[in-house]
Amino acid sequence: MGAYAVATTPDTGAKESMWSGAWPGSEVVAACLIQSPPYAVPADDRYEENAKLIAMMRTALPELMRLARLGMER
């Protein structure tokens, strides 16, 4: 099993292990797991792009919600 993760800090290239406790879990904002054997496979095979999209949406959501509230007040 592996994962594509988007974090608040740059990749160190150290290949940290989730199981060893070295995984920087508090810094990860989005992750897409790669399973073996594959139980869930995105139709587009864009694991890394999907993880980045989740992180971008997480960041954009507060502003989108603010704009939606402004639109409802009018």
The whole-number pLDDT of residue 38 equals 66
The whole-number pLDDT of residue 44 equals 79
Q: Mean pLDDT, 10 residues at a time, over the chain (74 residues)?
A: 72 67 69 69 77 85 92 82
Residues 42 and 50: their CA atoms lie apart, in Å, by 9
The whole-number pLDDT of residue 20 equals 66
> How many Cβ atoms are within 10 Å of 32's Cβ, its own excluded?
20
The whole-number pLDDT of residue 60 equals 92
The whole-number pLDDT of residue 25 equals 67
The whole-number pLDDT of residue 22 equals 65
* DSSP 8-state class, residue 7: E
Give the containing element (helix H, strand E) for 51. Answer: helix 47-73
Cα distances (angstroms) measured from residue 34 to each of 30, 47, 62, 70: 13, 8, 29, 39
